Chains A and B, each alone.
Chain A
């Protein structure tokens, strides 16, 4: 080893930070392509370092287990973790926070995913942003994002995690509004940031409560002393942290920012809004699992919320016509699945689903990006009927692989993780409710909804596959002439796609597609063991049930959309379905509801405040100034400049003084 473990751990998040600085500085000066190469190599290096550190962790852990096996009395499970301490941040009274990084099993998995998928997406971006004028800024922001995300998953305490949390929110805002000259993009960025802020406020409240109750913020210490806290307070803390996770992971009340975030460049959507940032909420809850096992009511809330979100988003995704919007709602739905798993206490299963979803969704987004590039930024699926499966075969294959994986086709990685989630929901014994009479009934209901949602997932994903890549219909609206790269609207030029750029975009897509297919078979069970999952003995019949549902959904959709597309239109002509379709197309009118209930009263309030500030407060001050002015003007009349007047006033004052002193006898 060239570097010690501690130094490696330190270098993992620092390399992207250096990449951020270098991309900005060097990229602006010399050729713009250099910034992409610098950024990618930094993340690649970080990935290699995390791989080596991971290997070191495994070897050390196995050594430890061997040693422990020699001691027969020792029955506890013990696990190794690397940590490096940089120094104290602040010490206030009894509260001490430090810059400390932790590399244990959970962090290792997340780090590998972030750096690995991030590296592939950087490679893709080199090709995607080839002709964009703002490339150095883009790669700098991407690297900054990777740094913050790594900080989030590698931190040892809640406060440093919160720093990473805020940082990824910031980078998300910067990257969504990357093409800031269009005001819609800027607005989308603002929306993301503001909705995130709502969650962050609750997160902070949770952190404050923990500090007041326990006095420490690092995970190990909280885990030790979590029993001490009042149970009701535990629930409240868990609730606050949950609200933070809801904001970040786009669950139901705060999901509104994710579809709008598709205004950013496609690599951004892939990295941030599919693979990594939106999983920060899941990671947080998994990290604080020791807290959540003690808060059963909040767990119930998480499970119900996750299920409802999954269903809600899946229904919307059925009707959307924009490629990226379908994928966005699909992301929300899959995140709902992850929250479902968290709700029943299967934290490792949720992380497993994070990993498989990262591969699959990133692949989907990147191939969609290729398609968008090729069809000159046409994002409406209905207009893409031009037999792309022949014209872009590699992209088609990759997209199909990832879609099958997420839909849950048997033996794909997505199938294994989704199966594990469904099984843990079905067989959960920890879900407790004081409000419903039959606990068991509740888990079965949730399972039923989840299964239906899985079916819907298959439907909408295959629908998108067929619509995007399907055979040409009569009346194709877009002709594929030359494939033009992504451009900023200020620098439009139709350039022939170079072979290298094509390769940089293609290789990551294929890699991710194969990963999403084969990861489950190869490393699935090992990952579950690594993350210390329990209750994994899935019954055979259950597996058959879930795979049947998925296959049926896939096949049905493919057939219908491929051959009997007119049936769909006739179906929509029925009044019931057309009304339902309209509601779903308009996203259940959630945005409009929020606008009516929240945004308008707030803007009214802010207008009132503005009025008060301008007229009342400023008016008071101006009144004071006006009074002084008035007094001055009035008293100025005394200064006549006439000596005779001054003499008279002198005499009168003198007289008054004399009268006061000698006649009225005032001292």
Chain B
């Protein structure tokens, strides 16, 4: 049964990666990033349940905190991006071109 959860987590991670690569809207990319983080969380919890070890769940706690902090800062950056370019298309910021 753990296998099932691991597979689910892997697939969820894959969906998240796919979303980041494919979508151009920066907010949707952020959401897909959250998907990836959640997939990792699921993996950690599954393993913690398998080994009856609490450390996995503690790590998940920390991951959640970091994810929260990261979302906050990321959103601030996106706000700045929007203020400068008036759009959330991520391809607009091509100042490093050539």
**CB < 8 Å neighbour of B98 from A639, A643, A648, A651:** A639
Question: Of all chain B residues, which has the CB nearest A655?
Answer: B17
Are the C-beta atoms of B94 and A641 separated by less than 8 Å? yes
Question: Of all chain A residues, which has the CB nearest B22?
Answer: A644
Q: Quick one: which of B32-63 are within 8 Å of A by CB? A: none
| Interface membership of B90, Cβ < 8 A | yes
| Interface membership of B96, Cβ < 8 A | yes
Are the C-beta atoms of B91 and A643 separated by less than 8 Å? yes
Are the C-beta atoms of A642 and B98 separated by less than 8 Å? no
Are the C-beta atoms of B98 and A636 separated by less than 8 Å? yes
What per-residue 1/0 map shows which CB atoms of A613-657 lie under 8 Å from chain B?
A: 000000000000000000000001001111110011001000000
Interface size class of A (residues with CB under 8 A): 10 to 19
Are the C-beta atoms of A640 and B97 separated by less than 8 Å? yes
Alpha-carbon gap, A639 to B94, bound state (A): 9
Query: Which residues of chain A come closer than 8 Å to B24, judged between CB atoms?
Result: 644
**CB < 8 Å neighbour of B94 from A642, A647, A651:** A642
Query: Which residues of chain B come closer than 8 Å to A644, judged between CB atoms?
Result: 21, 24, 90-91
Query: Which residues of chain B come closer than 8 Å to A642, judged between CB atoms?
Result: 90-91, 94, 97
Are the C-beta atoms of B21 and A640 separated by less than 8 Å? no
Most buried by B among A636, A640, A641: A641
Query: Which residues of chain B come closer than 8 Å to A640, judged between CB atoms?
Result: 94, 97
How many positions in chain B have a CB within 8 Å of any CB in the partner chain?
12
Are the C-beta atoms of B21 and A647 separated by less than 8 Å? yes
**CB < 8 Å neighbour of B95 from A641, A647, A648, A651:** A641
Are the C-beta atoms of A641 and B97 separated by less than 8 Å? yes
Query: Which residues of chain A come closer than 8 Å to B21, judged between CB atoms?
Result: 644, 647-648, 651
Question: Of all chain A residues, which has the CB nearest B18?
Answer: A651
Are the C-beta atoms of A641 and B90 separated by less than 8 Å? no
Query: Which residues of chain A come closer than 8 Å to B98, judged between CB atoms?
Result: 636, 639, 641
Query: Which residues of chain B come closer than 8 Å to A641, judged between CB atoms?
Result: 93-98
| Interface membership of B27, Cβ < 8 A | no
What per-residue 1/0 map shows which CB atoms of B6-28 lie under 8 Å from chain A?
A: 00000000000100110010000
Are the C-beta atoms of B20 and A643 separated by less than 8 Å? no
Question: Of all chain A residues, which has the CB nearest B21?
Answer: A648
CB distance from A642 to the nearest CB of B (A): 5
Query: Which residues of chain A come closer than 8 Å to B90, judged between CB atoms?
Result: 642-644
Alpha-carbon gap, A647 to B20, bound state (A): 8
Q: Quick one: which of A502-551 are within 8 Å of B by CB? A: none
CB distance from A233 to the nearest CB of B (A): 71
**CB < 8 Å neighbour of B93 from A639, A643, A647:** A643
What per-residue 1/0 map shows which CB atoms of B48-91 lie under 8 Å from chain A?
A: 00000000000000000000000000000000000000000011
Alpha-carbon gap, A643 to B85, bound state (A): 15
Alpha-carbon gap, A636 to B94, bound state (A): 14
Alpha-carbon gap, A347 to B46, bound state (A): 116
Query: Which residues of chain A come closer than 8 Å to B91, judged between CB atoms?
Result: 642-644
Query: Which residues of chain A come closer than 8 Å to B97, judged between CB atoms?
Result: 639-642
Alpha-carbon gap, A220 to B85, bound state (A): 94
Are the C-beta atoms of B17 and A639 separated by less than 8 Å? no
Query: Which residues of chain A come closer than 8 Å to B17, judged between CB atoms?
Result: 651
Question: Of all chain B residues, which has the CB nearest A654?
Answer: B17
Question: Of all chain A residues, which has the CB nearest B91?
Answer: A642
CB distance from A353 to the nearest CB of B (A): 83
Query: Which residues of chain B come closer than 8 Å to A636, judged between CB atoms?
Result: 98
Alpha-carbon gap, A640 to B94, bound state (A): 7
Alpha-carbon gap, A640 to B98, bound state (A): 6
Alpha-carbon gap, A641 to B85, bound state (A): 15
Known: A641-B97, A643-B93, A644-B90. 8 other contacts (CB 8 A): A636-B98, A641-B94, A642-B97, A643-B90, A643-B91, A647-B21, A648-B21, A651-B21
Q: What are some 16 contacts across the A-B interface (CB < 8 A)?
A: A636-B98, A639-B97, A639-B98, A640-B97, A641-B93, A641-B94, A641-B96, A641-B97, A642-B90, A642-B97, A643-B90, A643-B91, A643-B93, A644-B21, A644-B91, A651-B21
Return the 4 tightest CB-CB contacts between A and B, nearest first.
A641-B94, A641-B97, A641-B96, A642-B91
